[in-house]
Amino acid sequence: MTTVDVLDELRDVESIKRLRARVARCLDTKQWSEFGDCFTEDAVLEAPEVNLRWQGRDQIVQGISSGMNGVRSVHHLHAPEIELTGVDTATGVWAMSDSLERTSPDGPVIVNGYGHYRDTYVRDGGRWRVRSLRLERLRIDT
């Protein structure tokens, strides 16, 4: 591998890290247009523990924005394992934690989750986007 190849790989990995940071920030700040722009048109989002599967950018944005209505969230991503699988494709596994707070008549209900995101990425229109995102929680505290 040449120095140029290594630099290109490092740039791609860093771009994917920034993409995933943007997904989390836009989700927590409810910036739905920018959130949606992080995904390919045909993206898939899955959360098997709650039997959830959405297909397509529009369905993902609609489903997430509806589900996050009235919820204050904080998402943290850690320890990325990113592998470039082709010139324009990659996979990633991220350790994650999230905190979701919803107000109820009895006071706030807070759920803290811990686990991993398993993603695939594709360079689309010259920039990296999420093609699939799968949330696998290992633990949930309420």
Q: State residue 4's pLDDT score.
A: 59
For residue range 83-120, list pLDDT tens digits in order: 999 999 999 999 999 999 998 888 899 999 999 999 99
Sequence-separated (6 or more) residues with CB below 8 Å from residue 83 = 90, 91, 92
**What domains sit in the chain, N to C, each tagged with a CATH number?**
3-141 (3.10.450.50)
Helix and strand element counts for the chain (H, E): 3, 6
What order of strands is seen across the sheet that includes strand 52-55?
52-55, 39-47, 127-141, 107-124, 89-104, 71-84
CA distance 33 to 5: 34
For residue range 31-79, list pLDDT tens digits in order: 999 999 999 999 999 999 999 999 999 999 999 999 999 999 999 999 9
